[in-house]
Structure 1
Amino acid sequence: MLTGVRIVFLGGDARQIEIIRKCVEMDAGVSTVGFDLWEGQLPGAAKAELTDSLLSEADALVLPVVGCDDQGQVGAKYSSVPLRIGPEQIAALPAHCTVYTGMAKPFLRKLCRERGLRLTELLEQDDVAIYNSIPTAEGALAMVIQNTDFTIHGSAAVVLGMGRTGFTMARSLQGLGARVRVGVRRREHYARAEEMGWQAFMTEDLGRNLADADLVFNTIPSMILNAQMISKLPAHACVIDLASSPGGTDFRYAEKRGIRALLAPGLPGIVAPKTAGIIMANALVECIRAESREQEG
């Protein structure tokens, strides 16, 4: 249980609703900021305004999956006013407070570091990222179905990157009967891809693996699908970029060539917010419990 733990939620989307419910269920004291447009009921959670007084009593500050942008703007789907977190808000938090988010931009990391606050990025945990890759892959497949006139079965599908999301993406495509090729940057990933029955190649050989690609799924957060690479794709190809914004695709050149290329960050919150929220909620509760035990010890 989280009895006696005071948690402030600042902004978020439908995933955050599930996390709030879980924390209330665990008997935490919950205050929410940025949910005035939420039409549902959140019994046990008090709606509040963002004040120094509220923050000064927080044991945990929970931000959205992407904590904030490089100017401190916080995503808040259910707020009627913009929300921002900056040095003033961070300074109001007590020294023992932990800031939680899915992934943090350098701006938020710098704020917490300067204040000496612990920052926990839940999506950096392997179990959370692996669970989260499932709705990501399902959402990517849905996007392909909506944006192509051919089946995934029998298609030539290229997956770039074999991290948590890339692995799940390749396995899902394989299950649907696609001919899967995986571009990797590490030899151990090459071996794992071959062991899974996928055709592996090193990313420096990407150009030679795009000429007959029907589908390309990128998970590498750097400009890997540049104009030179996109020029090698057939005109009917569809690119789904799953890397963090701004992705790893030259979308301008893809549009110029008439190739459908879609940036798709945050798919779990779009296609399966309840499941994604429960994943994050369980991780958050475990982290708070662990940190409480650490402080007590």
Structure 2
Amino acid sequence: MIKRKIALLGGDQRYLACMEKLAEVADLYLVGFDAIYPNENVPLHLIPFEELDAVILPITGISNDDEIMASFSQDRLYLPKDSFKRMKQGAFVFTGIASKRLRELADDSEVTVIEIFARDDVAIYNAVPTAEGTIMLAIKHMKKTLYQSRVVLLGFGRVGDIVADRFFKLGADVFVGVRKQKDIAKANSLGYHGFHLKDLDAYIKSTDLFINTIPAMMLTSTVLDQLTREQLIIDLASLPGGVDFDYAKKRELRVIHALGIPAKVAPKTAGTIIATAIIEELSQNE
């Protein structure tokens, strides 16, 4: 692979492992790491955007006012509005999921935005630390062992598939709620209990742990009315989640909205996954 010039702008703990791997194949400009790498950190206004092959933004991209999340900076960082315009044609901007604001800036330039988390392989690899983090939360907050516990998992996509497997292997009795008949068949064939989401009410009272992976309102006030404080809900869905959190709080139910688990429980693994995906994208466009 041709050695590229890449600017890494902000980020969280995942980006420490990410930069380590990227440094093997690229010349890096580090921005927003002054608190831990004061000698290597480069002020944002000194970045030669015209020379860059790629910019890597935080997984969260940029805010509506162009702020860059930088966990390791003592200053607040803002992306200059002409940054992308200054970059050469064919340059890349990497982020997790592109916000509307990021798209607006990119559309007014010649750069290509790559959403790392839109890649199937990244989502599948990330599902592993997500599943392990979910197990950690369950063990910490449940009042019984996972072994022989009754777990209802809502959704059977890339994350749900791995989560179901890991809980099943720990001896949990796993029930998988889905919408398609083929997914019910798949769940049953793997030793789980597949059921249609419309039949969720039949599984509520006897369940120890609910895990939601569907980014839509699944655990409504009607469903929550049937739960007790002994039961635990872990919501893995992205914002705004799949639980009526206000109503759950009113009823004093035990609910955890577990966002960004890979960054919290396995940042080194998550960062390596991100870097590998970026290197593959750049290699395909040499």
TM-score interval for Structure 1 and Structure 2 normalised by the shorter chain: over 0.9
- Of 126, 133, 138 in structure 2, the residue corresponding to residue 139 of structure 1 is 133
> Conserved in 1, the CA contact under 8 Å of 2:84 and 2:110?
no
Structure 2 CA distance for partners of 1:52 and 1:206, relative to 1, 3 Å: farther
Tell me, yes or no, if structure 1 residue 156 matches structure 2 residue 154: no
Per the alignment, residue 14 of structure 2 pairs with 15
Per the alignment, residue 37 of structure 1 pairs with 35
Per the alignment, residue 246 of structure 2 pairs with 252
Deviation at 1:111, TM superposition (A): 2.7
1:92-111 superposed matches below 5 A: 92-111=86-105
> Conserved in 1, the CA contact under 8 Å of 2:58 and 2:95?
yes
> Conserved in 2, the CA contact under 8 Å of 1:213 and 1:233?
no
Per the alignment, residue 6 of structure 1 pairs with 5
- Of 76, 79, 86 in structure 1, the residue corresponding to residue 73 of structure 2 is 79
Tell me, yes or no, if structure 1 residue 262 matches structure 2 residue 256: yes
In structure 2, distance between residues paired with 1:86 and 1:252:
38
Deviation at 1:175, TM superposition (A): 0.6
Q: Which runs of 5+ in 2 are unaligned?
A: none
Structure 2 CA distance for partners of 1:168 and 1:113, relative to 1, 3 Å: same
Structure 2 CA distance for partners of 1:206 and 1:64, relative to 1, 3 Å: same
Specify the SS of the correspondent of 2:71: coil
- Of 185, 189, 200 in structure 2, the residue corresponding to residue 191 of structure 1 is 185
TM-score, normalization by structure 2: 0.93
Deviation at 1:40, TM superposition (A): 9.3
32-41 or 172-181: bigger deviation? 32-41
Q: Aligned pair count?
A: 286
- Of 188, 199, 209 in structure 2, the residue corresponding to residue 205 of structure 1 is 199
User: Percent sequence identity over matched residues?
Assistant: 37
Which amino acid is the alignment partner of residue 194 of structure 1?
Answer: N
In structure 1, distance between residues paired with 2:57 and 2:131:
24
Deviation at 1:83, TM superposition (A): 2.1
In structure 2, distance between residues paired with 1:69 and 1:219:
25
Deviation at 1:125, TM superposition (A): 1.5
Specify the SS of the correspondent of 1:280: helix
Per the alignment, residue 117 of structure 2 pairs with 123
Structure 2 CA distance for partners of 1:72 and 1:198, relative to 1, 3 Å: farther
Per the alignment, residue 283 of structure 1 pairs with 277
Per the alignment, residue 295 of structure 1 pairs with none
Tell me, yes or no, if structure 1 residue 217 matches structure 2 residue 208: no
> Conserved in 1, the CA contact under 8 Å of 2:213 and 2:237?
yes
230-239 or 8-17: bigger deviation? 230-239
50-59 or 31-40: bigger deviation? 50-59
In structure 1, distance between residues paired with 2:218 and 2:81:
35
Deviation at 1:230, TM superposition (A): 1.4
Tell me, yes or no, if structure 1 residue 231 matches structure 2 residue 230: no
Q: Which runs of 5+ in 1 are unaligned?
A: 293-297
Cα deviation code 1:122-166 (max 9, x no counterpart): 222111111110000101111111112211111110111111111
Deviation at 1:212, TM superposition (A): 1.6
Which amino acid is the alignment partner of residue 36 of structure 2?
Answer: W
